[in-house]
Amino acid sequence: MTTKEKLEKIKSGRLSATENIKACLNLIKEKNKQINAILYVNPSALEDAKKADEKIRNGNAGKLAGLAIGIKANINVKGMPISCASKTLEDYYGTYDADVVEKIKKEDGIIIGILNCDEFACGSSGEYSAFGPTNNPSAPGRVPGGSSSGSAASVAADFCDISLGSDTGGSIRCPASHCGVVGVKPSYGRVSRYGLIDLAMSLDQIGPLSNDVFGCALMMEIISGHSKYDATTFEKEIPRYTEFRKPNKIVIGVSKSFDKLCSDAEIANVINDCVRKIAKSTNSSIKDVELKYVDLSIQTYYPLVFVEFYSATRKFDGRRYGKKIEESCGREVLLRLLGGEEISKSEYEGKYYRKSLEVRELIKKDFEKAFSEVDIIISPTVPMLPHKIGAKITDPKVMYAYDAFTIPANLAGFCAGVVPCGKIDGIPVGMHIMAPSFREDLMFNVMKVAEEGR
Amino acid sequence: MENTEEVRKLAKKIMDEFISALNKVKETSPEFGVRRNENIREPFENKYSDSDFKDRILKNAKNVNGDFIVAEKKKW
């Protein structure tokens, strides 16, 4: 059942919120031990569902009434453990609702629980949680991708209808691709980050994951908008993303620069087939765009992340929030902290962070130029299929390569979404659709075409 | 398990590899910020500054000594 069909059933009384939440809770009870997508189940979920049912009966229910919503463990929900999947914050409970959570509650969405992720969102596989790796429900035994591993896996396993993740370099889109679900990284400044425990504040965005494009579009209508608590958000009109309009005669950008980043030719073939189908279905043309610096995205991104993450975590000194981070975190988090500390030293002034900012500007200009020639750009989401859980990947750079296609959207601030578009040996492959900043409407319209064509 | 110093060395090595790749880029963006050779900002008259900003800050401070705010940890 699609999210739209489920909502219609709930609104018409053919399915109650209580029945929906009970079904999710039963699935969690039955399968979460194997999947490990949920770290905490909301004990009040059924109570909240009953209240939603009453509102539905009275005709004053919100847009999300009756739907089960999962929240990544780095987004504050009042009264729930927001551990960032780390021992550092394992006893920390949210003292307030993040802006996005407040908006979900206002629309009567039911918070089903807090979702597993890579520790402090540092990871691309979902294996770096202090509370154990998440399994991929769509490709059992393989990683679900990260860092929003639980957000993608819980949607794929039907533990919830829509989830929220955070995306700093691909953390929503990479797991969406590996788990065969839809995921969206909004434009920077579209969604308030207030209440998100940040990884790198100049790159982070909160976004939705769902089993269909409608679910993500609906959630984006709700969580988008200006917030007085996040100065980077914009006062811009929020289009009705769920009123999809089929694009006609657009120009679809692809790039030869992507070819050398994709280590798996089969993935490239699946994506190219889908691009041709979209072009045919929308009477559109395909144009090759030049992206001179896209192959330097990983090298540009990580120095920025190391420094910003080091800065963001100075509050975790063991006095106010949990334990001292350097003494309680896992290896990947420690690597980023020590790297950030090292390259922030005044003796290196300008050598690392500043140089990365300079190249970031060039990458941004590359994409701005490309978007002046085409309407959207399509690429694979991840250059390889998800590896088996526990496979020995000791070189962090191998793991960093998972985000080669997704990082530019964060560096340049534009929006990007992932739609499942095929399978290789039974493993899902997602297509990555990028659109200019604040053109989520166009992005969703193309995602919808891709969804209908698969 | 590696010790902290080994992890630090690995992190620095990765950063050095990444930066050496970026250093091959000679092009710069004209819009990219101002480059200062020294990290010292000289005092200057800012005609756009809020004239009563200092008064409001001092008024809001818990302890003031002349022109200075006396800030004690966890007190303000």
Interface touch B10/A361, C-beta < 8 Å: no
Residues of B in contact with A335 (CB under 8 A): 7, 10-11, 14
Q: What pLDDT is stored for residue A104 in this prediction?
A: 98
Q: How many CB pairs under 8 A join A and B?
A: 77
Amino acid identity at A212:
D
> Which two three-digit tokens encode residue A437?
């900043």
Interface touch B7/A343, C-beta < 8 Å: no
Q: What pLDDT is stored for residue A6 in this prediction?
A: 96
Amino acid identity at A39:
L
pLDDT at residue B48 greater than cutoff 80: no
Longest dimension (CA), chain A: 67
Strands A415-424 and A427-435: antiparallel
Q: Say yes or no: A239 contacts chain B, CB-CB below 8 A.
A: no
Provide mean pLDDT across the span A400-423.
Answer: 95
Q: What pLDDT is stored for residue B74 in this prediction?
A: 67
Sequence-distant (6+) residues with CB within 8 A of A201 are A193, A308, A312
Of A338, A349, A362, the CB nearest to B29: A362
Q: What pLDDT is stored for residue A357 in this prediction?
A: 93
CB atoms within 10 A of CB A331: 15
Asked whether A146 and A75 are in contact (CB, 8 A), the reply is: no
Provide mean pLDDT across the span A242-246.
Answer: 97
Of A326, A334, A339, the CB nearest to B15: A339
Provide mean pLDDT across the span A242-260.
Answer: 94
Provide mean pLDDT across the span A113-121.
Answer: 98
Residues of B in contact with A331 (CB under 8 A): 1-2, 7
Interface touch A334/B31, C-beta < 8 Å: no
Q: What pLDDT is stored for residue B62 in this prediction?
A: 79
Amino acid identity at A329:
C
Active site residue ranges of A: 72, 147, 171
pLDDT at residue B76 greater than cutoff 60: no
Closest-approach residue (CA) in chain A for B31 = A361
Q: What pLDDT is stored for residue A350 in this prediction?
A: 73
Mean pLDDT of chain A: 95
Of B8, B15, B39, the CB nearest to A303: B15
- Residues, chain A, total? 454
Q: Is A266 helix (H, G, I), strand (E, B) or coil?
A: helix
Amino acid identity at A229:
Y
Asked whether B16 and A339 are in contact (CB, 8 A), the reply is: no
Residues of B in contact with A325 (CB under 8 A): none
Task: Identify the weakest region by mean pLDDT among A116-125, A362-371, B48-57.
Answer: B48-57
Asked whether A136 and A34 are in contact (CB, 8 A), the reply is: no
CB atoms within 10 A of CB A354: 14
Query: What tens digit of pLDDT does each residue of A29-76 get?
Result: 999 999 999 999 999 999 999 999 999 999 999 999 999 999 999 999
Interface touch A299/B22, C-beta < 8 Å: yes
**pLDDT-derived band of residue B54, with 50, 70 and 90 as boundaries?**
confident
Q: What pLDDT is stored for residue B42 in this prediction?
A: 61
Q: Is A308 helix (H, G, I), strand (E, B) or coil?
A: helix
> Which two three-digit tokens encode residue A315?
């509050």
Q: Check the CA dihedral A258-A264-A265-A271 and report its sign.
A: negative
Q: What pLDDT is stored for residue A220 in this prediction?
A: 98
A95 min Cα distance to partner chain B (Å)? 20
- Residues, chain B, total? 76
Interface touch B7/A359, C-beta < 8 Å: no
Provide mean pLDDT across the span B44-57.
Answer: 66
Percentage of residues in chain A with pLDDT exceeding 90? Answer: 91
Q: What pLDDT is stored for residue A321 in this prediction?
A: 87
Task: Identify the weakest region by mean pLDDT among A349-363, A364-378, A403-417.
Answer: A349-363
Sequence-distant (6+) residues with CB within 8 A of A211 are A2, A3, A155, A156, A158, A161, A181, A182
Provide mean pLDDT across the span A330-334.
Answer: 96
**pLDDT-derived band of residue B39, with 50, 70 and 90 as boundaries?**
low
Provide mean pLDDT across the span A354-371.
Answer: 94
Interface touch B8/A336, C-beta < 8 Å: no
Provide mean pLDDT across the span A217-233.
Answer: 95
CA dihedral in degrees (A415, A435, A289, A386; nearest 10)? 50
Supply φ then ψ for residue A103, to 5 degrees. Answer: -65, -40
Interface touch A352/B15, C-beta < 8 Å: yes
Residues of B in contact with A299 (CB under 8 A): 17-19, 21-22
What are the contacts of A327-331 at 24+ separation with CB within 8 A?
A328/A86, A328/A87, A328/A88, A329/A86, A329/A87, A329/A88, A329/A119, A329/A120, A329/A130, A330/A86, A330/A119, A330/A128, A330/A130, A331/B1, A331/B2, A331/B7
Sequence-distant (6+) residues with CB within 8 A of A389 are A127, A133, A135, A141, A142, A143
Q: Is A407 helix (H, G, I), strand (E, B) or coil?
A: helix
Interface touch B27/A351, C-beta < 8 Å: no
The DSSP 8-state label assigned to residue A388 in this structure reads B
Provide mean pLDDT across the span A223-229.
Answer: 95
Query: What tens digit of pLDDT does each residue of A306-325 get?
Result: 999 999 999 999 998 899 99
The burial class, CB within 10 Å (0-12 / 13-18 / 19+), for A419 is buried
Sequence-distant (6+) residues with CB within 8 A of A117 are A72, A73, A74, A84, A85, A126, A129, A146, A147, A148, A149, A150, A151, A165, A171
Sequence-distant (6+) residues with CB within 8 A of A253 are A286, A287, A288, A289, A370, A371, A373, A374, A375, A376, A377, A378
pLDDT at residue B52 greater than cutoff 90: no
A263 min Cα distance to partner chain B (Å)? 20
Give A114's Cβ-side CA count (13 Å radius): 23
What is the pTM (predicted TM-score) of this model?
0.91
Among A73, A119, A190, A69, residue whose Cα is nearest residue A435: A190
A183 min Cα distance to partner chain B (Å)? 29
Residues of B in contact with A326 (CB under 8 A): 4
Interface touch B15/A349, C-beta < 8 Å: no
Among A213, A278, A233, residue whose Cα is nearest residue A98: A233
Closest-approach residue (CA) in chain B for A305 = B15
**pLDDT-derived band of residue B75, with 50, 70 and 90 as boundaries?**
low
Provide mean pLDDT across the span A117-143.
Answer: 97
Q: Between residues 296 and 335 of chain A, which touch chain B (CB distance below 8 Å)?
A: 296, 298-300, 302-303, 306, 326, 331, 334-335
**pLDDT-derived band of residue B46, with 50, 70 and 90 as boundaries?**
low
CA dihedral in degrees (B52, B56, B58, B61; nearest 10)? -170
Residue with tokens 């998972």: A402
Select from A320, A349, A358 the residue whose CB has the most chain B CBs within 10 Å, as the one to mutate to test that interface. A358
β-strand partners of A111: A69
Among A88, A109, A90, residue whose Cα is nearest residue A42: A109
**pLDDT-derived band of residue A370, with 50, 70 and 90 as boundaries?**
very high
Amino acid identity at A121:
A
